[in-house]
Chains A and B, each alone.
Chain A
């Protein structure tokens, strides 16, 4: 269990957060840039000290400004994947990984570094310098390096943001596997709510140095406490069991009932999470004839209606919570009241897929 309470003023930012992450769980911090997400990670890792705060990782007190405890970063067992990875450019991939193995006898470091790289599918790139690696390869070296520390805590700062769309799905899978295997608490910083939703157990929305709402990603999307959260939680996440269907389509039996399909590269079988953007979801009255090109239709009930700028975020309860975003005229036309039954529809091509 990680507990962190941090208070500081950094420039214009009034930071004041209290976080708790149980062992083996992943908390995502999401919010706009400049909200203080990276600063929180720095303070937990010890590369910056807050004016007031306490960080307790398991049984170890890393920081307590009242008791004048401030363990330097090298004394905190904490794997840290930096934004843009911060791989040492003058060291090869395996030497980057071995850098974190300082406590191991020198003779065993190479072997261990190669093991870690192999686990991430990079054993053939062990001798390459970071400059010659692709974005996805760099990300995996950074993950391997953070894991080498065998930390009591894992911090990931935007592990996917430097990647192009094509590499992203694969890289997200690599991160998901590491999170799944991690026995330590994990904090993931991302500005992309969809990543937070797919990768974390819980998501905290950070705005101007404060956690404005915390919960599972789907509960945030379905019941945003404010327009800010509604605006940010730009993705719906549903879980289910995938199986291959005809024509390269993957069918997903949703937990709690209902079936949807996805046209997506990714795992074809087993437990999966899918994500859809709320603006891809169309709301229709329950008696409307299913038509158009959308393949996925779920009966649902309206549980919230939030105005976000010129749009309306409609929280829905189907077998799992989801949210749709529609225009104000469309909302008026539909006459959405809390509890009214609707059909939520979206295209199979709008469905992102990740293995759990």
Chain B
């Protein structure tokens, strides 16, 4: 009996599929390698020791405080603004949307200089607020809001735009005013997109370096957040910088994952709705 010849699927895997797989593997390796290296070069005991140093704990505490506050401000002010941008059309809207996205492409150092030029002691509005911001914790929060808000606004805008108009109309015809419709229909329906935006903005704020350094400086306990503390050490104590970096990676990653878990499975997959 002659063996039955079956066409093999695996033997003739299309070249394109191979190319897709290879490029994905390359991207993953490249992106994961530096993060992996941080953990390979440091050790849990080194990280624990770092957490014992007051400079580290102070920086960590300051980072958590300033980023939380910045995210709260971004969400409170940004959510209604994103809703307006998503649901209304008005002349010049593309310009406004571009303006909102501008901080995304602005180099953080330039953003810091810009903030100084606007709100520094010798800036446009400096006389009024300059001394309460520069070299102050409030200045850190301001820099974080500036740099991180577009990440939230963009996501929130597309999340609101994905809510079909008929749901908002239905709410209105059922007797709910605009504010109630926003709170009871638009926000719950856009929830997973909003949470994904919040996670992105928070992550961006935690890693913020350039604008904070330029605008608020790097004063331990007042404006020195974790990224600034890492930079402060890396010339003099590389192992300590490594340990603090590892801690920051863990904090950022767990924030991202927990916010996404709260938002539900859709946000975890990262696909815009």
Residues of A within 8 A of B (CB): 42, 45-47, 72-74, 76, 78-80, 82-84, 86, 88-90, 99-100, 102-103, 145, 148-149
Q: Give A148 to B174 CA distance when docked, in angstroms.
A: 8
- What are some 11 contacts across the A-B interface (CB < 8 A)? A45-B169, A46-B172, A47-B169, A47-B173, A74-B172, A74-B173, A80-B170, A83-B166, A88-B189, A90-B188, A100-B175
Q: Give A24 to B108 CA distance when docked, in angstroms.
A: 66
Residues of B within 8 A of A (CB): 164, 166-167, 169-177, 184-185, 188-189, 191
A82 touches B170 (CB 8 A): yes
A74 touches B176 (CB 8 A): yes
B166 touches A84 (CB 8 A): yes
A99 touches B176 (CB 8 A): yes
Q: Give A76 to B164 CA distance when docked, in angstroms.
A: 22
For B174, give its contact among A46, A84, A99 (CB under 8 Å): A99
B173 touches A45 (CB 8 A): yes
For A86, give its contact among B170, B184, B191 (CB under 8 Å): B170
Q: Give A349 to B172 CA distance when docked, in angstroms.
A: 44
Q: A72-B177, A74-B177 are contacts. A86–B169 as well, Cβ < 8 Å?
A: yes
B172 touches A47 (CB 8 A): yes
Q: Give A80 to B173 CA distance when docked, in angstroms.
A: 7
Residue of A nearest to B170 (CB): A86
Within 8 Å CB of B191, what residues of A?
90
Q: Give A103 to B175 CA distance when docked, in angstroms.
A: 8
Q: A82-B169, A82-B170 are contacts. A88–B177 as well, Cβ < 8 Å?
A: no
B170 touches A102 (CB 8 A): no
Within 8 Å CB of A102, what residues of B?
174-176
B173 touches A90 (CB 8 A): no
Q: A88-B185, A89-B189, A90-B189 are contacts. A149–B175 as well, Cβ < 8 Å?
A: yes
For B175, give its contact among A47, A74, A86, A88 (CB under 8 Å): A74
Within 8 Å CB of A149, what residues of B?
173-175
B172 touches A86 (CB 8 A): no
B167 touches A88 (CB 8 A): yes
Which of A74, A79, A149 is packed against the most chain B CB atoms within 10 Å?
Answer: A74
Residue of B nearest to A102 (CB): B175
B169 touches A42 (CB 8 A): yes
* B267 CB to nearest chain A CB (Å): 15
B173 touches A73 (CB 8 A): yes
B169 touches A73 (CB 8 A): yes
Q: Give A103 to B191 CA distance when docked, in angstroms.
A: 27
Within 8 Å CB of B167, what residues of A?
86, 88
Within 8 Å CB of A76, what residues of B?
173
Residue of A nearest to B166 (CB): A86
Residue of A nearest to B164 (CB): A86
Within 8 Å CB of B177, what residues of A?
72, 74
